[in-house]
Amino acid sequence: MLLVNTIRDNFDVVLEGLSKRNFQQAEITLHQVIELDNKRKETQTERDNLQAESNNISKEIGMLMREGKKEEAEKIKSRTAEIKAQIKVLEDSFSTIEEELKQKLYTLPNIPHSSVPAGKSAEDNEIVLEHGSIPELPESKMAHWDLIKKYDIIDFDLGVKIAGAGFPVYKGKGARLQRALINFFLDEAMKAGYTEVQPPILVNEESGYGTGQLPDKEGQMYEATADKLFLIPTAEVPITNLYRDVIVNEQDFPIKNVGYTPCFRREAGSWGAHVRGLNRLHQFDKVEIVQVVHPDQSYITLEDMSKYVQGLLQKLELPYRVLRLCGGDMGFTSSLTYDMEVYSAAQERWLEVSSVSNFENFQANRLKLRFKGSDKKTQLAHTLNGSALALPRIVASILENNQTEDGIKMPKVLVPYLGFDKI
C-alpha cells in the first residue's frame, strides 16, 4: 500500500509511475486520496481540540469543587456533556473517513522502479539475458502431455475424476520426480542461508490484505467461505505474514525464509493450447524464497535472488532467459520483477518458471512490518520474494528437453534424490 505522504510529496512521480502501469483514472484517485487525508486530519484536529477543552473544563470543575463553589461547577458540567457528544460524532466520522481512505489506497498498485520499461503486455517485456543452448530433439519428439501418457507418470483423467480439470495425479517416477525437485530446491535454499518454514496453506483475510492478494486477486483464489479462509496462491502469503505487526531487529537483516507448499489458483478465464497439460494448473507445488531486508539493500538483494534462481536452472541444465517485466505486465504489489523462462524444445516456446520481485515497502506498509534504525526511529522494511522454483513447467521442460528414443534422461543433480537416471 502506498504511503499518503509519498503521494503528497511526490505527486508527479507517483502519477507517472501509475501511468507506466496503464492504471486508469490515476490522477482522480490520487486527488481523492489527498482529499480524504485532509478530511481525516481536519477531523482529528477538531476532535483533539474538543478533547483538550473537555480536559480543561474537568480541571476547572475539580478546582471549583475544592473551593466549595458547587453551583458554579454544576453550571459548566452541561458543556462537558455537549463536548462528549460532539467527540463521539467526530470519532465515528474519523473511523468512516479512515476506512474510506484505506479502501481507496487498496486500489492503487505499487509504483514501478525507474528501470521498469513502459508497456501494456508481455510482448513489451525486456530480455535481460539468455543462457544455454536449445537441445536438438529427435523427429519423434513429443510434448509433455504425450510423454506422461507414454510413460504413465502423470494422470490428468484421474485428477478430473477426483477433483476436476487442472488437478493432476502424479504416479510412480512422476511422483518421485516431484519429491526430488522439492527436496533439491529446499536443500539448495538452505545452503544459501535460508531458514526453512512449513506454513499453513489456508490464510485469513488479514493475511490476504497484508501481502496484496486482497482485494486485487480475490476472484482468483479458492475460498473456504464458512470460515472466511483462503487456499494460498503461493507460499509468499503465509511466510511474509509471519512478520505482520512485527518490529524486527535491524541487526537481523537480511531475514531469509524458504518454504514448500502446494499452491491453488482458480485461473478463471484461462484457456487455449498455451495452458495445456502442466502449463497451467489449479493445484501445483512450489518452493518459495522470501526476504525481509533493509531498504538500502533491497535492489542488491533482488539481483542476488535472480542469480540464485538462475543457478538452480543451470544445475538442472535447462536453457533459460531473464525478462524485466514492463509496467503493464507486473504484479499489483511489485516495484520491479524479473521473470525466468525456460525454453521448451518440444513446444518450441518459452515457459515462465519463476518470478522474483522487490515490493519495496508496499507490503510492509500493509503488514505494519517495521524495524528500528540506528537513529532509533521506526521505519518500514522492504520485502522480496521469488519462486525457487514452481514445479509444473520445470517438470514439463525436463521431460520435453531430455527425451531420447529410449527414454527421458534426468538431470545429473537430481539422480541422488531420484535413485534413477532415466524414465
181-212 tens-digit pLDDT = 999 999 999 999 999 999 999 999 999 999 99
Contact 348, 320 (CB under 8 A): no
Kindly state whether residues 93 and 161 are assigned to the same domain. no
Q: What is the pLDDT of residue 77?
A: 80
Q: What is the pLDDT of residue 320?
A: 98
Report the helix count and the strand count for the chain, using DSSP H and E: 13, 18
Q: How confident is the model at residue 67 (pLDDT cuts 50, 70, 90)?
A: confident
pLDDT in tens, 342-394: 999 999 999 999 999 999 999 999 999 999 988 889 999 999 999 999 999 99
CA dist 254 → 136, 237, 290, 365, 366 (Å): 42, 18, 10, 18, 20
Kindly state whether residues 223 and 276 are assigned to the same domain. yes
Question: What value does the mean pLDDT take over residues 273-287?
Answer: 89
Which cell numbers hold the place of 318?
Answer: 535447462
224 in a structural domain: yes
3-state per-residue secondary structure call for 104-135: HHHCCCCCCCCCCCCCCCHHHCEEEEEECCCC
Contact 332, 109 (CB under 8 A): yes
Q: Which domain holds residue 20?
A: 4-106
Which amino acid belongs to residue 399? Answer: L
Residue in the structure block whose three cell numbers are 524485466: 324
The rounded distance, in Å, linking the Cα atoms of 181 and 409 is: 15
- Count of the separate structural domains present in the chain: 2
pLDDT in tens, 293-350: 999 999 999 999 999 999 999 999 999 999 999 999 999 999 999 999 999 999 999 9
Which of 44, 77, 106 terminates a domain? The answer is 106
Which of 50, 80, 106 terminates a domain? The answer is 106
Lowest-confidence pick of 119-123, 183-187, 216-220, 283-287: 216-220
DSSP string, 132-157: S-PPPPPTT---HHHHHHHHT-EEHH
Which amino acid belongs to residue 387? Answer: S
Which cell numbers hold the place of 371?
Answer: 524495524
The answer to whether the peptide bond before residue 215 is cis (omega within 30 degrees of 0) is yes
Kindly state whether residues 187 and 232 are assigned to the same domain. yes
Q: Pairing state of beta strands 370-372 and 247-249?
A: parallel
Strand-pair partners of 259: 288
Q: What is the pLDDT of residue 273?
A: 54
pLDDT in tens, 152-182: 999 999 999 999 999 999 999 999 999 999 9
Instruction: Using DSSP, state whether 383 is helix, strand or coil.
Output: strand
Query: What is the helix, strand, coil percentage profile of the chain, to 5?
Result: 50, 20, 30
Kindly state whether residues 212 and 336 are assigned to the same domain. yes
pLDDT above 70 (res 275): yes
Residue 181, domain CATH: 3.30.930.10
Kindly state whether residues 28 and 152 are assigned to the same domain. no
Sign of the torsion angle spanned by Cα atoms 230, 236, 238, 244:
negative
